[in-house]
Amino acid sequence: MNQKIIKTLLIFISLIVVACGKKDSNKPFDEGNVKDEIYTSKEIGWTLEIPKGWSIISRDKMEKNDEKGQKALEKSSGKRVDMSALKHLISFQKDNFNLFVSTSEPYKELNPGDHKKNGKTVRELIYQTYIDHDIKADSSSRKEIIQGLEFDAYYVTIYAPDGKVILNQILYNKLINGYDFGVNINYNNENDKNTMVDAFKKSKFNRRLKQ
């Protein structure tokens, strides 16, 4: 299985249940900085305002979650998963079920359109993985324009055995400045969903960035 696909599955499928971090934690991300509740990534050319009352998830906790998911994927796929190039950008949460995670990873297209083809394969594998684990889920995908940029958006609804919705996930993905940039939003209620989606849609991207 493609290493990029494995890492995307790791980030997206994992129901990232982590303890709340603190806003004064020591360097809680691999790239970027926070000042006055505004996160800035120079590599992506992106700025985002962290919602008031939400807690930044520390890099240490994200890495521990990665390790658990990495071991599970290596066991199921029988292949080594290299996470060394993955960067955690800003991640924050309201509670264990409502959280915002952003990542980047260097990505070079060998042929035009490779990134979009890879994204389609990822979406198919995400859905199939849920099915393989007897998890009932519905999914849909579409293009969304955010601050003038076209993102691939993938929506998943996960159900309990009795048919009750237990979690929703949204994955936004785009190739920016030579990086595979992704935002993963997990939520179980509309108010927290709207808070996270609004924060992302109101975030800013450098207009001079490379597509």
How many independent structural domains does the chain possess? 1
Summarize pLDDT for 47-100 with one digit per residue, the tens.
Answer: 999 999 999 987 666 655 556 555 555 555 566 656 667 788 999 999 888 999
- The pTM score is 0.79
pLDDT classification of 135: cutoffs 50, 70, 90: confident
Q: What's the mean pLDDT in 21-46?
A: 77
Give me the pLDDT at residue 113, please: 82
Within-domain flag for 134 = no
Within-domain flag for 10 = yes
**What is the pLDDT of the chain when averaged over all its residues?**
78
Within-domain flag for 152 = no
Within-domain flag for 31 = yes
Give me the pLDDT at residue 45, please: 94
Within-domain flag for 52 = yes
Q: Which residue has the higher pLDDT, 123 or 16?
A: 123
Three-class HEC string of the chain: CCHHHHHHHHHHHCCCCCCCCCCCCCCCCCCCEEECCEEEECCCCEEEECCCCCEECCHHHHHHHHHHHHHHHHHHHCCCCCCCCCEEEEEEEEECCEEEEEEEEECCCCCCCHHHHHHHHHHHHHHHHHHHCCCCEEEEEEEEEECCEEEEEEEEEEECCCCCEEEEEEEEEEEECCEEEEEEEEECCHHHHHHHHHHHHCCEECCCCCC
Within-domain flag for 50 = yes
Give me the pLDDT at residue 123, please: 77
Within-domain flag for 97 = yes
Domain range enclosing 9: 3-116+172-205
Q: Which residue has the higher pLDDT, 129 or 166?
A: 166
**Would the pLDDT of 203 be above 90?**
yes
Give me the pLDDT at residue 25, please: 43
